[in-house]
Amino acid sequence: MKRLMWLLAVAVTGCQASVRYPAANLADDSYQAGEQWQLVWADEFDKAELNDANWSRRVAKAGRFNAEWQRYTDDESNAYIDNGCLVIKAIHEGESHGENRYTSARLETAQKQSWRYGKVAARIQLPYGQGIWPAFWMVGINGKRHGGDTRWPFCGEIDIMELWGSKDDGAVEATIHYADRNSKHAWIHPQTFKLPAGRFADAFHVFEIEWDEQQIRWMVDGQLYATQPITADEFGEFHQEFFILLNIAVGGKDPDFRPDERSVFPQYMYVDWVRVYQQGKS
């Protein structure tokens, strides 16, 4: 069905669609979770509008998170459904670069959908370029920003995928954030996955974790590239329910990660689907 919708989009909009969508693999989805995994939740983005039972649009002013330059809006120009995909769109407003000159979207399943352990996966075509920072990640449900009573990073954060366009459009990173034994913000970046050639903006890829009582494992297109044990006491926050987030950030604290004359806008993050699996459940 998604292949048919994409072909119709090409017929209607011509070369514009061939630029915005990868011509080869939008419908070339051969993902298999494995026989031991049972699907417990999914959003295939096959309806006309975003499913409000699954997602909230976070609204935040520029600088609210990590000194980022974008405003997160609840406007459908920044997040919408198109041709069977969720589209997150980062827009440059104006001619100059700087804080509060961009809009984007941050979607969350907070207080709607959350899980403890499992396989969490999404099929995504990423944006690219100087100052562009897309992410597919998770945060503990007890965080104050999302209705809980615990400040970040005591709630824990799992970055399933982050791409720093300012560094390498062909590389994504795995990271966890937590509070260490001294109650200080700590993070572990176990590994980076780099494509043999090209950019993550050139096609869809599957980003996923397998998360259990012992460890978190990161994969891209089924290839395991990072493992982090979580059995030590300081990793206690990773044994509660977490919710999912998807966003494109623009800029940040580091001047090297800010957009400039090299940056191309608008930027698009296409999400074909998001799925959660667990063992022995359905």
User: Which residues are designated catalytic?
Assistant: 157, 162
Q: Indicate the pairing of strand 56-57 with strand 157-162.
A: unpaired
203 DSSP 8-state letter: S
Q: For the chain, how many helices (H) and strands (E)?
A: 2, 17
Strands (E), the chain: 37-43, 56-57, 70-72, 79-82, 85-92, 102-104, 106-108, 118-125, 132-140, 157-162, 171-179, 185-194, 205-211, 215-220, 223-229, 242-250, 267-279
- Answer for the pair 191, 228: CB distance below 8 angstroms, yes or no: no
Strand partners, 71: 103
One-letter amino acid for residue 245 of the chain: L
Cα 229 to Cα 219: distance, rounded to the nearest angstrom: 15
Strands (E), 69-117: 70-72, 79-82, 85-92, 102-104, 106-108
Nearest to 107 by CA among 51, 175, 173: 51
Torsion, Cα 197 198 202 206, to 10 degrees, reads 40
Cα 271 to Cα 43: distance, rounded to the nearest angstrom: 10
Quote the distance between the C-alpha of residue 260 and its chain's center: 23
